[in-house]
Amino acid sequence: MKTEQLNRFAGFGIGLASLFTENVLAHPCIVLRRQCQVNYHARHYHLTPFTVINIMYSFNKTQGPRALWKGMGSTFIVQGVTLGAEGIISEFTPLPRELSHKWSPKQVGEHLLLKALTYVVAMPFYSASLIETVQSEIIRDNAGILECVKEGIGRVIGLGVPHSKRLLPLLALTFPTVLHGVLHYIISSIIQKFVLLLLKRKNTHNHPTESTSPVQSILDAYFPELIANFTASLCSDVMLYPLETVLHRLHIQGTRTIIDNTDLGYEVLPINTQYEGMRDCINTIKQEEGMLGFYKGFGAIIVQYALHAAVLQITKIIYSTLLQSNV
């Protein structure tokens, strides 16, 4: 019974620590990364964690801690809309939410179509959430937590905040949004399965079943999956970073968003891009900012995943100590 309680406690605690890191602790890094990605004026690209930490400190000093935590509620709303949409679409269509072990190419295609439709439904809310996370705290009204929902619906029906003529229609944003979402899902799923397989093989090789201690078996039950998820997220974020930069620039265009100056750490800048679509955006970034222009704010990803790795390691040490003293 004691082992069962420990198991339950371990599973809950480890899951909670991972969720907290992914959604709360990582948020300042996501805010800064997005601000750098959409800042076409920027001379400093913030490709390393050192300049990122420096600029985070400057924003914190000039605008207070809220500058790095803005839009966090809206990111949860986007996750909720995505999960809800996926559940409803799979309920009313034959599209499978999960793939069975004996999957066929047809089943994979239908599953990816479900994901694509989900990203289309979530797209206007993603757009509104993106604006909330990059809009400067200096000129921001204290928007309510449901502002993202209101803005998202307003974007679909053409009401709400007055936008400029440069605003791209949602139809023009559909392809890049779905492409990024589906590729992210495919890459992370493949890497997650592969890492999990490697870790399980390594664990069975290192600890034959009879000699496994209760502590080790609890750690083996939860940590391989967390490490696999961590590796999958990291690889897909890094591989798709240039596409994400393009996607964010297209979403933010014409929304009259004012962002913080990521070169100075104070002052604000307007976003006045005039991209005609995805191809034009890629060519313009290449010509005006060079290939590294696609990686603006990349240092924030390094900080984000270094934090995540540290939390995983600390959690593992704490649980090993707690379980050893209880076993």
Indicate which CATH number applies to the domain containing 76. Answer: 1.50.40
Determine the Cα–Cα distance for residues 113 and 179; give it in Å rounded to an integer: 11
CA distance 139 to 259: 9
Tracing tokens 């207070």 back to the chain, one arrives at: 64
Range of the domain at 167: 1-325
Q: Tens digits of per-residue pLDDT, 198-226?
A: 988 887 776 655 555 666 666 777 788 88
Q: Both tokens of residue 37? A: 């990605």
Query: Cα(96)–Cα(105) distance, rounded to whole angstroms?
Result: 13
Whole-model pTM?
0.90
What is the average pLDDT score of the chain? 87
Q: Decide: 42 and 262 in contact? Cβ < 8 Å.
A: yes
**How many Cβ atoms are within 10 Å of 149's Cβ, its own excluded?**
19
CA-CA distance, 166 to 273, in Å (whole number)?
A: 8
Single-letter amino acid, residue 125: F
pLDDT at 257 over 70: yes
Domain count for the chain: 1
Beta bridge partners of 269: 259
Q: Work out the pLDDT band at 1, boundaries 50, 70, 90.
A: very low
pLDDT tens, position by position, 68-119: 888 898 999 999 999 999 999 999 999 998 887 777 889 999 999 999 999 9
Q: How far is CA 288 from CA 176, 284, 285, in A?
A: 21, 6, 5
List pLDDT tens digits, range 273-316.
Answer: 999 999 999 999 999 999 999 999 999 999 999 999 998 888 88
Q: CA–CA separation, 75 vs 78, rounded Å? A: 5
Number of C-beta neighbours around residue 173 at 10 A: 22
